[in-house]
Amino acid sequence: MEQILANGLYLGAQYALIALGLTLIFSLMNVLNFAHGQMYVFGGFVTYTVVAQWGLPFIVGLVSSAVILAVMGALIEKFLFRPVIRKSKRDESTMLLAAGIAFFLDAVILLLFGEKQRGVPKIVDGVFNWDMRLIMPYDRILIGVLAIALIVGFIALMQYTKAGRAMRALAQDRMAAQLMGVDVDRYSMIGFALGALLAGLVGGLLVTITGINLGMGGPTSIKAFMMIMIGGAGVISGAIAGGFILGMMESIGLTVLAVYGDITYLAIFASLMVFLAFRPQGLMGKPWG
């Protein structure tokens, strides 16, 4: 049981970090970022290139993932989403754009990094073992702790800095924020960059454990969607809750339902449907946010 809980926590911390970026972008611009999973894969490959191929320390790889993805996110917002949002009749059009970007990033990743599964050497050796009741490699613990620290850092950023306050205002009411003198364009761009940065960071963190390959983008996006549906789209606490809940459910499901075959996600989806029938906006979402 302790093992299941620990696994769930570890998974949940990563998931929450992915969902945070997605929900941030969604709350600021009402854009469902299909390319989020691809951004995550891209971040993983950047860390892989820096650490495994150039032989630099892991932290350099992580930082360069974050920086590259943040710049990428800012450019995508400025040159792609902003003009399309301004011109199109229905705001769903951004979904086509996001899907196009997802394909584009897939193609870029394929051309730049190839299709092979890549990983970096373990950053810490050894396994934590508590009476055989709880076994966890140290690198997983480190990554889990780093992920939680990043989540805390992100919340602090949103709560206590000027940029964070501006973004929260934007998420609440774009028009009102603009009337209060918030530079909407600038903070949309910062928000998108921050969301992409988070995706890149998770990619960089996870490449040390699970490795990374081209095909991971889509499934990651789908998991992130599930998390923000559980928690409620566009709400930061919801994304964190959703991430941890999905992590726990996956961890428990994989253990308890293993005898029935690979039906964990089927069960999770069925329970999600029942849940949404009672609470369509998720745990903490605004109705029809």
Partner 1 sequence: MNKNLVGIAAFLLAVFVLVPVAIAATGRWDLYYTLTSVALLAIGSAGVWLTFYIGRINIGQGAYALMGGYVSAVLMTKAGFSFWATLPLAGLFCAGISVLIGLPILRLRGVYFAMITLVLTEVTRLAALALPVTNGAKGITSIPLPGSLSVFGITLIPDFATMANPKLGFYLLAAALMVLSYVVLWRIVNSRPGHLCRSLQQNEELAASIGVNTAYLRVLTYAISSFFGGLAGAVFVAISQSIYPSSFAVADSVNFMLYCFVGGLGYVTGPMLGTFVLYFGWDLLSIAKQYQLLVYSSLMIAMMLVLPNGLLSLFDRKGGKK
Residues that bind partner 1 (CB under 8 A): 26, 30, 32, 34, 80, 83-84, 87-90, 92-93, 95-97, 99-101, 103-104, 106-108, 110-111, 218-219, 222, 225-226, 228-229, 233, 261-263, 265-266, 269, 272-274, 276-277, 280-282, 288
- Grouping H, G, I as helix, E, B as strand and the rest as coil, residue 126 is coil
CB-nearer residue toward partner 1: 81 or 187: 81
CB of 229 vs partner 1, minimal distance in Å: 5
CB of 26 vs partner 1, minimal distance in Å: 7
CB-nearer residue toward partner 1: 144 or 217: 217
CB-nearer residue toward partner 1: 23 or 47: 23
CB-nearer residue toward partner 1: 110 or 127: 110
CB-nearer residue toward partner 1: 134 or 257: 257
What is the C-alpha to C-alpha distance for residues 154 and 22, in angstroms, rounded to an integer? 13
CB of 233 vs partner 1, minimal distance in Å: 6
Two tokens at 284? 């903490």
Exposure b/e, 135-162, CB count within 10 A at least 16 = b = ebbebbbbbbebbbebbeebeeebeeee
Distances (CA, A) of 262 to 5, 9, 248, 251, 282: 20, 21, 16, 13, 26
Paired residues of 167 in beta bridges: none
CB-nearer residue toward partner 1: 85 or 123: 85
Q: What is the widest separation between alpha-carbon atoms in the chain?
A: 62
CB of 69 vs partner 1, minimal distance in Å: 18
CB of 181 vs partner 1, minimal distance in Å: 28
Rounded-to-10 torsion of CA 238, 242, 248, 252: 140
Q: Are 220 and 36 contacting, i.e. CB atoms less than 8 angstroms apart?
A: yes
- What totals of helices (H) and strands (E) does the chain contain, helices first? 12, 2
Two tokens at 238? 């919801």
CB of 42 vs partner 1, minimal distance in Å: 14
